[in-house]
Amino acid sequence: MPNIRHTPQAPTDARTLAAGAHIDAHRHDDHQIVYAGSGVVAVTTDAGTWFAPGTRALWVPAGTVHAHRAHGRLRLHLVGLPAGENPLGLHAPTVLTVGPLLRELIVACTTDPGGTGPERRRLRAVLCDRLRASPQQPVQLPAPADPRLAAVCAIVHHDPADPRTLASLAAATGTGERTLSRLFRAELGMTFPQWRTQSRLYHALRMLADDVPVTTVAHRCGWSSASAFIDVFRRAYGYTPGTHNSRP
């Protein structure tokens, strides 16, 4: 793949990115933990896009070509781990739940990234212990490969409020409904309603990071009411959308 920047050691640091800023496609020989202290971070690979607010972190395995994008004012925390140190045993990008202790450990590691003493080693050891205990979360927007599936996904992703059923979208794109249903499960590992919910949540996170009111977000993303949106969002992320920009 051309023009892919290669950085052997994954950085451990904290940086602030303006809304819409991005870090171009690159790869590391190390694993990396990506965490948004504020705003929302999206990590994109050939397989799709993973996105996370402050209650989630992204595990990016060594060698994975990936790019970052900031939604809202992003305080980005990056923790590099040697390729031989894989506390999760994961070999694909994964979203993890971040509780208060893990959040503070990530922040502490990136506040003084150059530390090398015994205290630093103990901090990293506890961080790895908490990573092992962190539940994995299916917060991903997989990228379709089949052109028929890609056409339908593009329509839905372009307008998350589009209310059309899979049958209507199939007719609009000249594809059979059963074929599309099979492709969603085979390629993306989820049903059409599940994929559309993930797409809507992705758009919702982006809008909330830009301080769009909750009721407006619900309407623009296709929920029938603000209360329905709040319920889905709370179940997905563990907090209400109204508190999104006041997270610690």
Q: Going residue by residue through the chain, which has 248 residues, state the pLDDT in tens, using 9 for 90 and above.
A: 456 888 888 888 999 999 889 999 999 999 999 999 888 888 988 888 888 888 889 999 999 999 999 988 889 999 999 988 888 888 888 888 888 999 999 999 898 766 667 888 888 899 989 988 887 766 678 888 999 999 999 999 999 999 999 999 999 999 999 999 999 999 988 999 999 999 999 899 889 988 899 999 999 999 999 999 999 999 888 888 887 655 54
From the DSSP assignment, how many helices (H) and strands (E) are in the chain? 8, 10
Domain that holds residue 154: 144-246
pLDDT at 53: 82
Q: Exposed (0-12), middle (13-18) or buried (19+): which is 192, by Cβ within 10 Å? A: buried
**What CATH number corresponds to the domain at position 62?**
2.60.120.10
pLDDT at 140: 73
Q: Are residues 76 and 20 in the same domain?
A: yes
pLDDT at 247: 52
Q: Are residues 90 and 184 in the same domain?
A: no
pLDDT at 1: 42
Q: Are residues 156 and 50 in the same domain?
A: no
Q: Are residues 175 and 86 in the same domain?
A: no
pLDDT at 102: 92
pLDDT at 111: 84
pLDDT at 180: 95
- Residues near 49 by Cβ (< 8 Å), separated by ≥ 6? 42, 43, 140, 141, 143, 202
Other Cβ atoms closer than 10 A to 118: 8
Q: Tell which of 93, 118, 140 closes a domain.
A: 140
- DSSP lists the bridge partners of residue 84 as none
Q: Are residues 202 and 109 in the same domain?
A: no
Q: Are residues 136 and 149 in the same domain?
A: no
**What CATH number corresponds to the domain at position 222?**
1.10.10.60
Quote the strand ranges of the chain, DSSP E.
5-7, 13-17, 22-28, 31-45, 48-52, 56-60, 66-81, 94-97, 136-137, 140-142
Q: Tell which of 108, 140, 172 closes a domain.
A: 140
Q: Are residues 114 and 153 in the same domain?
A: no
Q: In this structure, what token pair is assigned to residue 176?
A: 């059979």
pLDDT at 224: 92
Number of separate domains in the chain: 2
Q: Are residues 120 and 151 in the same domain?
A: no
Q: Are residues 172 and 187 in the same domain?
A: yes
pLDDT at 142: 83
pLDDT at 72: 86
Q: Are residues 135 and 152 in the same domain?
A: no
Q: How distant is the alpha carbon of residue 46 from its chain centre?
A: 14
Q: Are residues 95 and 170 in the same domain?
A: no
Q: Are residues 158 and 135 in the same domain?
A: no
Q: Tell which of 103, 118, 140 closes a domain.
A: 140
pLDDT at 199: 92
